[in-house]
Amino acid sequence: VISVNKCYVPGQLLVTDSECLTYLLEEWIVLKYLLYMIICIILLWCSIAVFSSIVPLCIMLFIYLSALFLLIYQRTHKLNGPYYSDAWNDVRLILSTIWDGFARFWHGYELHGTENLPDGPGLIIYYHGAIPIDYLYFLTRLFVLKRRFCYSLADDFLFKFPGDLFCIRALAAMMNIIRNTKEGGLNVLKKGHLLGISPGGVREALFSDESYKLVWHKRTGFAQLAVDAKVPIIPMYTQNVREGFRVFGRTILSRWLYEYVRWPVLPPYGGFPVKFRTYIGEPIPYDPNVTAVELAIKTKAALRSLIQKHQQIPGNICDALKERFHKEKKG
């Protein structure tokens, strides 16, 4: 008679040693793979976190390098005079081509609706992403395609940015970015140029989200500017701009802090290579019978309609990444 050693497995009858060993081995394999999955998930999230912080910093570095290139070009070619003059068009084209190449490579950037831009002056009203790199893409693509530049009104904090050493303000001036004043904007429009404004500005950049809500409050200054200059308003928005970059830490406290200091207090993250498509909507013509308040409401409705037509709401990063593999959309 051959004796068989037995062991006890909870919830089961007595089993042989070999069966017990097999059971324990299976349990160990399950735990091993579970541990591997946990480690992989942790590494994945760490990689995303590192990627999300590095890309915005790389873009900032790219901006500084562009400013440094401008400074070197200015010194070597002995350029002087105002940055908006044609004397700067060669270096403007070089930098625009570089940035346009980056836009094509990283975000598969497309620009639609340039036929809606008037030949003369016009006020472009656009949605402000967490980082308005899409607007920079628009400026550079427009100059590469049409040799035409669009002036821009920027928040005052940009001109307080510590960048004199690397010629940041010179770069902004060459890109025709000017202080946000009514007089400056009116002067640009009366000279027959395009002018870009984001009524939401930094507030919209920080406190809008993947629902693409417009954070304008009761701003009507842009509409009054269009009325005074007697120019059309052209709505503009970039598809998936919120999936490319987002901000961290939107809370009631951070909102209060921003309203108090008026500086971008929340850190951006992302830089995901999602598909960017900028859509320029049909212009809203000047009408002397429409007040600034009515025009502001009309503009807001037109921009919302443009967003709803082209944007998946709420936005999704994975779907925006898949857009890179789709054919170019028209309209």
Catalytic machinery residues: 128
* In contact, 197 and 235? CB cutoff 8 Å: no
Closest-CA residue to 245 (of 168, 317, 157, 159): 317
Q: DSSP H helical segments within the chain, as ranges?
A: 17-77, 89-107, 133-146, 168-174, 182-190, 201-207, 221-229, 241-244, 252-261, 292-310, 317-322
Q: How far is CA 99 from CA 76, 103, 108, in A?
A: 22, 6, 12
How far is CA 184 from its chain centroid?
A: 25
Q: Give dist(CA 44, CA 47) in Å, integer.
A: 5
Neighbour count for residue 246 (Cβ, 10 Å): 22
* CB 123, CB 222: distance < 8 Å: yes
The DSSP annotation for 136-201 comes to HHHHHHHHHHHS--EEEEE-GGGGGSS-TTTTHHHHHHHTTEEE--HHHHHHHHHTT-EEEE-SSH
**CA–CA dist 53, 48 (Å, integer):** 9
Nearest-angstrom CA–CA distance, 329 and 331: 7
Which positions ≥6 away from 47 have C-beta within 8 Å? none
List all residues 6 or more positions away from 299 whose beta carbon is below 8 Å from its beta carbon: 125, 222, 223, 233, 235, 284
SS3 at position 291 = coil
Give residues with Cβ within 8 angstroms of 19, minimum separation 6: none
